């Protein structure tokens, strides 16, 4: 058969595409469960991190997560955990970063006095620059930070703001627009929390 003929070309292209796509479909199907499991685990881990609950292995994540109360408040899922002296409330957020959506979990004290913590689930910021929002030093800044005038300011750039009472955190050097995006996201989230929890700060 003439390999350069139109019919052969069409049949060959069709067959090759068919074979490769079929194999891919199988590969996708056989890893899907594992991928979903990973995503679910990542989400639960993020919620626990934001709520400042420590855990060890994957089984422990599951167990600790089961202790959290899930409340549905007008379509928004809230995750509540009872701490020694207060109740911590966490909520998933998403907002636009520089290159794409930033998704994560923010947790606050029920009385909107302080934050409890933050965890980033997904982002597309520049690796090494804006991408550093998921590094511990950045997230640690939002651990027990006082909320001043119903807002958290991302101001300037630095290595992490140690002052937990000024309602401010440091932005990231060289990633002004990601820092600005975080500022907007945090302000929005705090006001959403305020409208849901009816905070007094």
Partner 1 sequence: MSDAKAILKENLWSNNPIFMQVLGICSALAVTNLLVNTMIMTIGVVFVMAMTNLTVALIKGFMPRKVRMMVQTLIIAFYVIIVDLLLRAYLPDISRALGPYVGLIITNCIIMGRAEAFAQSNPPLISMWDGATSGFGYMAVLLTIAFFRELLGFGTLFGIQVLPDAFVPWTIMVTAPSAFFFLGIIIWIGKTIMNREGAAA
Residues that bind partner 1 in the complex, under the rule CB under 8 A: 3-4, 8-9, 12-13, 16-17, 20, 23-24, 27-28, 31, 34-35, 38-39, 42, 122, 124, 127-129, 173-174
Per DSSP, helices labelled H in the chain are: 6-50, 58-66, 136-140, 176-197
Q: Are 152 and 161 in contact (CB under 8 A)?
A: no
Instruction: Tell me the closest approach of the beta carbon of residue 39 to partner 1, in angstroms.
Output: 8
Burial class for 33, CB neighbours closer than 10 Å (0-12, 13-18, 19+):
exposed
Question: Considering beta carbons, is residue 5 or 195 the nearer one to partner 1?
Answer: 5
Question: Considering beta carbons, is residue 20 or 70 the nearer one to partner 1?
Answer: 20
Instruction: Tell me the closest approach of the beta carbon of residue 47 to partner 1, in angstroms.
Output: 16
Instruction: Tell me the closest approach of the beta carbon of residue 23 to partner 1, in angstroms.
Output: 7
DSSP 142: T
Instruction: Tell me the closest approach of the beta carbon of residue 28 to partner 1, in angstroms.
Output: 6
Question: Considering beta carbons, is residue 122 or 183 the nearer one to partner 1?
Answer: 122
Question: Considering beta carbons, is residue 48 or 152 the nearer one to partner 1?
Answer: 48
Crossing angle of helices 6-50 and 58-66, in 10° steps, is: 60
What are the structure tokens assigned to 12, written together?
A: 């060959």
Question: Considering beta carbons, is residue 58 or 165 the nearer one to partner 1?
Answer: 58
Instruction: Tell me the closest approach of the beta carbon of residue 94 to partner 1, in angstroms.
Output: 16
Residue 44 makes CB contacts below 8 A (sequence gap 6+) with 61, 62, 65
């Amino acid at each position: 058969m003439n390999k350069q003929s139109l019919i052969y070309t069409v049949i060959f292209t069709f067959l090759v595409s068919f074979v490769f796509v079929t194999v891919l479909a199988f590969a996708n199907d056989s890893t899907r469960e594992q991928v979903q499991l990973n995503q679910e685990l990542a989400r639960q881990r993020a919620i626990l991190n934001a709520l400042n609950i420590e855990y060890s292995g994957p089984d422990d994540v599951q167990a600790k997560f089961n202790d959290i109360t899930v409340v549905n408040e007008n379509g928004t899922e809230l995750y509540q955990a009872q701490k020694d002296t207060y109740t911590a409330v966490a909520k998933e957020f998403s907002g636009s970063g520089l290159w794409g959506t930033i998704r994560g979990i923010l947790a606050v004290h029920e009385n909107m006095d302080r934050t409890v913590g933050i965890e980033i689930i997904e982002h597309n910021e520049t690796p090494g620059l804006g991408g550093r929002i998921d590094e511990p030093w950045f997230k640690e800044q939002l651990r027990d930070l006082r909320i001043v005038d119903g807002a958290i300011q991302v101001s300037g750039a630095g290595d992490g703001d140690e002052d937990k009472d000024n309602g401010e955190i440091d932005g990231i050097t060289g990633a002004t627009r990601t820092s600005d995006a975080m500022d907007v996201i945090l302000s929005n989230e705090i006001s959403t929390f305020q409208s849901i929890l009816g905070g007094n700060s």
